[in-house]
Structure 1
Amino acid sequence: MIVVVMVAVLLPLGLYSYWRTLKETHELLDGRLAQSARTLDVLIQRASIDALHKPEEGLLVVPILERKAEEQLMHGRTYETEVGYQVFDMHRRLRLTTANFAQLPLPAAPESGFKNYYFDGFGWRVFTLVDDAGGVLIRMGERDDSRRDITHAMWLDLGLPTLLGLPLLALLVGWAVKRGLLPLQRLTEALGSRAPGSRQPIKLERAPQELQPVVGALNAQLERLEDALERERRFSADVAHELRTPLASTMIHLDNALSTQILPDTKVALSSAQSGLARLARRIEQLLALARLEAGVAAGQRHEIDLVSVAMNVIDELAPLLGESGVEFAFIEHDESLKVLGYEAALAALLRNLIENAMHHVPSGGQVQLSMSRTVKATVIDVIDNGPGIPAERRASVFARFHREASSSGDGYGLGLSIVQRAAELHGASIELLDSPLGKGLRVRVTMPVTETTST
């Protein structure tokens, strides 16, 4: 933009300057012709050359070098052949002329002033001076190409520095702008390398004065953001503590009540209350897991994690639920160990909710499979079931919070896939809902890109 603006300003100014200079030069050269003619007139009058007024005297021709001889003598330049003059007497007879003007005829009614002629292969600018008092007529001329040489030299003097200077100026301006923006590049690198959750302020060495308020405001904003995240984390922990304790206490009291001798109707009611509290506890756990992920608890430093080990822990945790559901569960790992770079809590929540979600959509006697494998570029997690599946046109909506499919047979609250999606985002992973290879049902595929650390 800077270079374009400079071109837009300098180019018209240069053209205007060239036009003005050309105009002034032509006026100067015309003035020189007129002055030369008047000087010659004065010299003729002072010398009292009677021969100019005597008809019997012949024509006097002023010799000049031929053009080729002059070019050889002056190393390619011509001077004498580019100017010439004529002198006529009172009877309009040519009495004195330069050799190159000998063939220029006099007009029928010559008048004082400037006029353009073309003869002998060249254009000429001619000034005519009619001196009736002195009885002479003088014509003084100059070749047009001589004037063009002057204007071309002026064009080079005026235009060449601009034509050569603008590309150089563009390079220098580009270098200056790039150098001036280096602090912004350092700021970008500092933000990119900043560890999540860090409270260290960003510092730029030799930051320009214009950038210092930006860095200060950015540090203040990051500090406020970290304070807000810290409050979220504390809130999640407080809620977990405050809700889990009374729920656990109520569950214990219900177990004690069920173990005593009570009426059958009372026992049924207590069992229903126990199931309701169990569902409430599960929903609270899901809400807290989602809150922790949103608040960035898992957004700390990534670590190398054995995905197979995490999966085994999740399966052990869900073993009682798997046993009660009557679902046939299989874990297929292609490697004894799958190392990934990530957050263990988030990956555990991802696997737990994928398995639970599949179980809720599979009737008793159905199948659920967990498969893990690694390709050259990614680690792939597949959770496959043979339940009713989800039509292709409704698969995009299942990641919305509190969304439940009508085919779900469990007591979920529509948060499982939201938690899965958030955990996948933390790892830069993609989620696909595909058709199950078991004939019917759904395959949920999570693809995690392999980093240098995980690939080794």
Structure 2
Amino acid sequence: MPLRCTSTICVKSLENQPSKQFVVLVIKSQRKHISMSSPISIRKRLLITLIGLIGVTWLGVFVLISKDSTHELEEIYDASLAQNARILFGLLQQEVKEGELELLSDIELNSDRMHAYELNIAFWASIGKVTIQSSGAPEFLTALPDGFSDYTFNGSKWRVFTLRDRETDLVIHTAQKLEAREELVAYLIKDTLSVNILILPVMGLLIWWGISSSLKPLKQLVDEAGAMDSHSLRPFNIEDAPSEVSPLITALNQLLERLNLAIENERRFTSDAAHELRTPLAGLKVQLQVALRADDPQQKANAMKKAVEGIDRATHLVNQLLTLARADREDAGTLVMGRVDLVSLSENILSTMKAEALQLGIKLNFTTDQRSIYVECEPTMIEIALRNLLENALRYTAPPAQAGIDLTRSSTSGEVILSVWDTGKGIPPEAVAQMFQRFKRGSDNSASGSGLGLSIVQRIGDIHNAQVSVNPASKTTKFSISLRFKTAR
């Protein structure tokens, strides 16, 4: 029934329909897909990460600079207090030595033209009953310890440096309000923080521009991939790619190469299969038409017999095509390899084909110099290859004749050599190069076949890294096809 409603109404209207569960499943799947948040882009992720890291780094640097700057300012101001105290101490000592102490009491400090900052610094000196102090200086206690100390007067905190002469009873205090220091530190922190705050957006824009420029190769890669279709899977350009993207492009090019090969195999397979199936199907149709129109029972029986033979040939061809399609699809990375005993595998195949060989008047043989020989392979594929080789041997060997399997291990290279041989007339040496081509048959076409058996064997040998070799028959040798497994154990 047509669906012209929302998802909720659709589910209710299909309550009694067999497809109810399927519709509910599709709706749930769509809702789940819609609810999934889209992944954040690499550009945003890098921008947020870099700005966050820079911000945290700057914050740490700002804290360290503020701490070190405060410490250095404290050192500079303390050194200035100590220096001023020692200068004043030297001058007053000189006055005491010259006997002009009474003149000190007549000194008047004019505060009319004082700098505003002078209110934050002060000095106080006393010797005997004579006291000298700057304007606004606090009333210092003579009991303050020598050196640096903190002193509070009328709610104001002062940093004080004290010098004392025990012989002349001279006491000097130089002081500075801590407010002045804190104000300067606050200005320094404020200016530093303002600069950082102003620079951070500019840095963010520069980072965004740099990231966008750096990600241009990925954008070009996406554009190239979007412009491709199944008819033009050309490799990506890797010359101007950054080193971080080069492995990705190399892997994609390798994938495209495999896809091109797979598509080419698919096209060739489809074309060859259509061409090869057309002939037996046309012949089958003709024989069935003859059987339908024939009035003679013998003629009708002959036509039906030929139709059955045509069906057998077509069935064999379809099976071979399916086997070849599977072999083309597989490779060493997709096959499930295992440790297989080729002696046992060969004996089993020979036992299943012995009856057919006896019926054709051909004797099957098996020779090996070991009780078991193991290789890493996919057993079904190797069985298909052996069966195709043995079927070719039985099909193209006229009785009385012999055929069989020889299985040996090379004492020098360690390779396992699996040979299928027969005592037929073989093929000319110049025809060896063409015998593995698909749908290519020899000059003797009297035997039934599809021309795919050896192509299947070649493909199975390739995906097992096994070398396929041919020994054409001569007067002194047998015709044989061998598989050499390099990965033998």
- Normalised by the length of structure 2, the TM-score is 0.47
- Normalised by the length of structure 1, the TM-score is 0.50
